[in-house]
Amino acid sequence: MIIKDKILEVKNLTHYYGEQVGCEDISFDLYQGEILGIVGESGSGKSTLLKCLSGQISPSQGIINFCIDQNQPLQDLCKISEQKKRALMRKEWGIVQQNPRDGLRLRVSAGGNIAERIINEEIKNYSNIRHKALDWMDKTEMEKSRIDDFPLNFSGGMQQRLQISKILSSNPKLVYMDEPTGGLDVSVQAKLLDTITIIVRDLNVSMIIVSHDLAVVKFLTDKLLVMKSGMVVESGLTDRVLDDPQHSYTQLLTSSILQV
Amino acid sequence: MYVAVKGGEKAIKSSIDLLEQKRKHISANQDIQISQLIEQLSFAVDRVLSEGSLYDKNLSALSIKQAQGDLVEAIFILRAYRTTLERFSYSVPIDTSSMTLKRRISATYKDIPGGQILGPTFDYTHRLLDFSLLNGKETSNKKNTPKSDDNVFFPRVMEFLNNEGLMEKEIEKLKSKPFDITREPMKFPAARDQWLQILSRSDEGFLLGLSYSAIRGFGSKGTHPFVGEIRYGFVDVKIFPEELGFEICVGEIEVSECEMVDQFEGSKKKAPQFTRGYGLTFGYNERKAMSISIIDRALKSQEYGEEIRFPIQDQEFVLYHSDNVEAQGFVSHLKLPHYVDFQGELNLIRELRKKILKKNKDD
Amino acid sequence: MIDGFNFAYLDEATKRMIRRTILKAICIPGYQCPFGGREMPLAYGWGTGGIQVTASIIGMNDTLKVIDQGADDTTNAISIKNFFKKVCKIKTTEVTENATIIQTRHRIPEKKLSEHQILVYQVPQPEPLRRLEPKEQETRKLHAYEEYALMHVKLYEEISHYGSVIKTYAYPVRTNRRYITDPSPTPKFDNPKMDFMEALQLFGAGRERRIYAIPPYTSVKSLDFEDHPFEIQTWDERCDICGSNNSYLDEIIVNDKGEKKFICSDTNYCEKNIKT
């Protein structure tokens, strides 16, 4: 893999809920096109970390530097205005929610859902917006004929595909996925993972995926952070971490998957 | 040629005449006196002055008479009058712990210093129609008015919990000038001074329903709060004129106050404490004061970091929809002509139907 | 004037507060300025916002016209006009060009307004994004940051489902290329009149406590897509009274068989047409 621009740089990120630790002293870098996995049991701080990174909560301490413009130095997300942060969320980032219902407008058609992020860029021409929306449905292997249907009536897998179309339609630099295949049947999961891999590699978009499912992580990610009690206990290339775990907790995690 | 209907002016005049006629008794009954309303329909008078947010029993009774007993209409009339009055001063906060009590009860302690005072309440009446009232034979009854002893001090029940550190602290003093809902538009997120004022003059029925929803389970954490204390009685209203340099009492008002104890908050490290809800209204409006105290607690959900799941926890939902002058106005505006908008809808629906019917035919 | 009440009902301090809000609103065209709205003796939803605006700007020498659904003679228009006659004894008129202040509900007069006139709209819901986003805290951000994609999603949806935008009244506009504004529930037929109107346009929402304004000669564009341009309503029929074929028509049912006729919604315009 060719090393490209660094798009995210996290240093000593810490978040407390009152006096309780959410996540503590986390540092890592992410480059363009790279896919990072974060694993750990529930309560290990994965979701807190994801929320900090994606601007949903402000961390208590630490720096999150993000590449807003290739020609500019990275900027600390904790210091930019709310306006800019919201603009980034609409365009440069996307958050694929575990429950697609949280990431979709259920009373807006599939096409309208995708259109929302396209409209930020292009608001003049209806047909262009519609073509782009159809195009994205095609890429995520959805039936184009369902463009005017409401996601309320879609299956879980379809809803997740729609959510992914919606997020990717603005050509984001960075996509966060929170348990993207959680709650789906195994066969549906596999197909969805295939789709995600193909598109993401094709677009060269960077991703951070939170999951407790090591199979998902192994399949999708390049690098891995293993979290426990709010801290990163092990990190490195995914294959290395999973094949040759160093920390006892990682060993426990990998052994538990082998038993399945 | 068609001539469009005219005569709005005439129609309004006749309508007002008819309304006036409706009020005037056809039988030989006497005109109701304002003093009769104040004495014999005191709960109605209190409700109207509380929601009309103008403490004046005479005007409250007058508006009830003018509105022919339609209390929401009476509240509206009183509010519209109130808005024209000059604001000459803000009072200093009333001190309900030095209230001249007519009623004071606690559901959390059997006995409290100063004692429980049941006072006038419907609570233990049997709701049987009293046919003896039918013919208005009632004689004036002045004997049974027990005097409450002014010298007895009635400490607040919540203070006992507070002193032990079991109760979350009430804010001592506002940092800035209190919000004034009669002078400023609503702001969000709203602070407690804003919402307590709004609730104090909100529609009693709406508040009752909301608070009921919370204790049935559509509310924040605690589903069953405890009445720490309910007080009803008189308090002095004082102002502090800068030029005088001391407080002067300008009158006395009746208020109802409720303090509710709710379930505790805490975490592994923070010691648990009870939380509180507070409600105060003009007049004898106990049911409403209780409702407010439940809603007050629910509206603190955000501050406590509780998940906002139900209408009662949602500031905008509660505060925007609780004022009956606003609510009745907007609901009733649907009676106004909407010919123009409806014409737009008519044209559109015909257009759309034409398109589809034609397409179906072509297919 | 009636005993116990100030000229135009509101006390002078309140009027000043409202006038300051109006000035602010004029400075930021289309921006909804919060104001300390007062209770009025007419019900919320029946024009209290417009009445407060009118009461704050009206003077002894003004001539007031009040219309509802375009007509001077509808009950609520009469009622509001009577209110002002009672509380300020000013002149009133039905003739559009003679009025200095025109308070309206749901229509803009057909006759072109001039610089010497102020059009006061009664607004039930000032927030054009409210149906898409119920939270005030969020809609204020959407305006502040110019995040208007949602509004276009709505237009997209309507075109996708019905082949065209189906909003027929309160059709959203962009004021001065900045704020998306609700034109109040006037039919979209009236939207083009707002663009570069010579008269000052003031909008009062009493229940929601907002005032906004469109200064004279300000750009007001109805939202659309270039391949689905904004269009106004048209009728195949003419006005049954004056024969006009270019005014907004109301449909009336004239007999038990449900036969229909169409007449001008702007009664003063219709009368003028008959005379000439």
Q: How far does CA B94 lie from the centroid of its chain?
A: 18
CB distance B84–C6 less than 8 Å?
Answer: yes
Tell me which chain B residues have a C-beta less than 8 angstroms from the C-beta of C168.
341, 344-345, 347-348
Closest CA to A233 of A37, A74, A26: A26
Give, for all 260 residues of chain A, the pLDDT tens digit: 444 688 999 999 999 887 788 899 999 999 999 999 999 888 888 888 998 998 888 899 999 999 888 788 888 888 889 899 888 888 998 999 988 988 999 889 999 999 999 998 777 899 999 999 999 999 999 999 999 999 988 999 999 999 999 999 999 999 999 888 887 888 888 888 888 888 888 888 999 999 888 888 988 899 999 999 899 999 999 999 999 999 998 888 888 764 43
Q: Is A197 touching C (CB cutoff 8 A)?
A: no
Delimit the domains of chain C by residue range. 12-222, 234-276
Cβ contacts of B87 within 8 Å, gap of 6 or more: B183
Cβ contacts of C20 within 8 Å, gap of 6 or more: none
Cβ contacts of A68 within 8 Å, gap of 6 or more: A74, A75, A84, A88, A92
For A164, the enclosing helix (H) or strand (E) is helix A156-168
Percent of chain C residues topping a pLDDT of 90: 84
Write down the pLDDT at residue B152: 61
pLDDT band at residue B144 using 50, 70 and 90 as cut-offs: low
Residues B59, B204: Cα–Cα separation, whole Å: 20
Distance from CA of B233 to the nearest CA of A (A): 41
| Residue that is written with structure tokens 């960077």 in the block | A206
Tell me which chain B residues have a C-beta less than 8 angstroms from the C-beta of A18.
267, 269-270
Tokens of B201: 């003059």
Is B192 in the same domain as B105? yes
Is B170 in the same domain as B292? yes
Sheet of B248-265: strand order equals B100-105, B226-239, B248-265, B273-282
Which H, E and C letters describe chain C, residue by residue?
Answer: CCCCCECCECCHHHHHHHHHHHHHHHHCCCCCEECCCCCCCCCCCCCHHHHHHHHHHCCCCCEEEEEECCECCCHHHHHHHHHHHHHHCCEECCCHHHCCEEEEECCCCCCCCCCCCEEEEECCCCCCCCCCCCCHHHHHHHHHCCCCHHHHHHHHHHHHHHCCCCCCECCCEEECCCEEECCCCCEHHHHHHHCCCCCEEEEEECCCCEEEEECCCCCEEECCECCECCCCCCCCCCCCCCCCCCCCEEEEECCCCCCEEEEECCHHHHHHHHHC
Closest CA to A163 of A96, A69, A63: A96
Beta pairing, strands C118-122 & C101-105? parallel
Look at residue B127 and tell me if it is in a domain.
no
Phi, psi of A208 (to 5 degrees): -125, 120
The pLDDT tens digits of the residues spanning C212-269 come to 999 999 999 999 999 999 999 999 999 999 999 999 999 888 888 888 899 999 999 9
**Residue B201: DSSP 8-state:** T
In this prediction, residues B98-106 reach a mean pLDDT of: 91
**Residue B131: DSSP 8-state:** G
Closest CA to A194 of A164, A154, A239, A169: A164
- Kindly identify which residue of chain A lies nearest to residue C148, measuring between CA atoms: A120
A94: three-class secondary structure by DSSP? strand
Write down the pLDDT at residue A259: 45
The pLDDT tens digits of the residues spanning B302-335 come to 887 777 889 999 999 999 999 999 999 999 999 9
CB distance A125–C147 less than 8 Å?
Answer: no
Is B227 in the same domain as B103? yes
- Kindly identify which residue of chain B lies nearest to residue C260, measuring between CA atoms: B2
Instruction: Give the residue from A19, A102, A229 with the most B CB atoms within 10 Å of its CB, the best one to mutate.
Output: A19
Write down the pLDDT at residue A136: 94
Class of the CATH-defined domain A6-255: alpha beta
What would the DSSP string read from start to end of B89-122?
Answer: -PBPPP-GGG-EEEEEE-SS-SS-TT--B--S-S
Look at residue B182 and tell me if it is in a domain.
yes
Catalytic residues of C: 30, 239, 242, 264, 270
Is B74 in the same domain as B102? no
CB distance B339–C250 less than 8 Å?
Answer: yes
Tell me which chain A residues have a C-beta less than 8 angstroms from the C-beta of B305.
17
Q: Is C152 touching A (CB cutoff 8 A)?
A: yes
- Kindly identify which residue of chain A lies nearest to residue B268, measuring between CA atoms: A20
| Residue that is written with structure tokens 């996290």 in the block | A10
Cβ contacts of A105 within 8 Å, gap of 6 or more: A112, A113, A116, A151, C153
What is the C-alpha end-to-end distance of chain A, expressed in Å? 32
Write down the pLDDT at residue A1: 44
CATH number attached to the domain at C12-222? 3.40.50.11310
Look at residue B348 and tell me if it is in a domain.
no
Phi, psi of B203 (to 5 degrees): -65, 125
CB distance C46–B336 less than 8 Å?
Answer: yes
Write down the pLDDT at residue B27: 66
Tokens of B314: 């949602």
| Residue that is written with structure tokens 């104090």 in the block | B200
Residues A49, A24: Cα–Cα separation, whole Å: 9
Is B262 in the same domain as B208? yes
Delimit the domains of chain A by residue range. 6-255
CB distance B268–A18 less than 8 Å?
Answer: no
Residues B195, B206: Cα–Cα separation, whole Å: 15
Tell me which chain A residues have a C-beta less than 8 angstroms from the C-beta of C147.
86, 90
B/C interface, count of CB pairs below 8 Å? 146
CB distance C153–A117 less than 8 Å?
Answer: no
Closest CA to C126 of C63, C16, C61, C48: C48
State how many domains chain B has.
Answer: 2
Write down the pLDDT at residue B75: 97
CB distance A112–C152 less than 8 Å?
Answer: no
Residues B211, B331: Cα–Cα separation, whole Å: 23
CA–CA distances in Å: residue C170 to residues C160, C181, C224? 20, 9, 14
Question: Residue A175: how many CA atoms within 13 Å on its side-chain side?
Answer: 29
Question: Which residue has better confidence, B125 or C204?
Answer: C204
CB distance B2–C76 less than 8 Å?
Answer: no
Instruction: Give the residue from C76, C168, C241 with the most B CB atoms within 10 Å of its CB, the best one to mutate.
Output: C168
Contact (Cβ atoms closer than 8 angstroms) between residue A47 and residue A60: no
pLDDT band at residue C191 using 50, 70 and 90 as cut-offs: very high
CB atoms within 10 A of CB B363: 5
Subunits touching C (CB < 8 Å, at least 3 pairs)?
A, B
Question: Which residue has better confidence, B194 or A214?
Answer: B194
**Residue B145: DSSP 8-state:** -
Tell me which chain A residues have a C-beta less than 8 angstroms from the C-beta of B269.
18-20
Q: ∠ at Cα C60 (C57, C63), nearest 5°?
A: 75
Instruction: Give the residue from A82, A117, A126 with the most C CB atoms within 10 Å of its CB, the best one to mutate.
Output: A126
Tell me which chain A residues have a C-beta less than 8 angstroms from the C-beta of C149.
90, 116-117, 119-120, 123
Highest mean pLDDT among A45-49, A193-197, B101-105, B254-258: B254-258
* Amino acid (one-letter) located at A143: E
Q: Is A18 touching B (CB cutoff 8 A)?
A: yes
Q: Is C160 touching A (CB cutoff 8 A)?
A: yes
Q: Which string of b and e fits B225-249 if b means at least 16 CB within 10 Å? A: bebbbbbbbebbebeeeeeeeeeee
Write down the pLDDT at residue B270: 66
Closest CA to A172 of A146, A208, A147: A208
Is B314 in the same domain as B249? yes
Is B167 in the same domain as B285? yes
Q: How far does CA C117 lie from the centroid of its chain?
A: 14
Residues C240, C226: Cα–Cα separation, whole Å: 36
Contact (Cβ atoms closer than 8 angstroms) between residue B316 and residue B188: yes
Write down the pLDDT at residue B160: 81
Is B173 in the same domain as B271? yes
Tokens of C218: 């300000």
Tokens of C254: 């004239």
Residues B18, B11: Cα–Cα separation, whole Å: 11
Domain of residue B285, residue span: 96-121+145-322
CB distance C241–B8 less than 8 Å?
Answer: no
Looking at the predicted complex, does its ipTM rise above 0.90?
A: no
Closest CA to A150 of A100, A191, A195: A100
CB distance A18–B269 less than 8 Å?
Answer: yes
Residues B16, B198: Cα–Cα separation, whole Å: 32
Look at residue B155 and tell me if it is in a domain.
yes
- Kindly identify which residue of chain B lies nearest to residue A19, measuring between CA atoms: B269
Is B179 in the same domain as B259? yes
Residues A249, A124: Cα–Cα separation, whole Å: 54
Closest CA to B176 of B167, B166, B187: B187
Distance from CA of A111 to the nearest CA of B (A): 21
Dihedral of alpha carbons A105, A108, A114, A116, sign: negative
CB distance C145–A83 less than 8 Å?
Answer: yes
Tell me which chain A residues have a C-beta less than 8 angstroms from the C-beta of B273.
none
Cβ contacts of B63 within 8 Å, gap of 6 or more: B48, B52, B74, B75, B77, B78, B81
Is B43 in the same domain as B157? no
Tokens of C178: 């900045």
Look at residue B233 and tell me if it is in a domain.
yes
Is B48 in the same domain as B112? no
Burial of B86 (0-12, 13-18, 19+ CB in 10 A): exposed
Distance from CA of B306 to the nearest CA of A (A): 13
**Residue A9: DSSP 8-state:** E
Is B40 in the same domain as B106? no
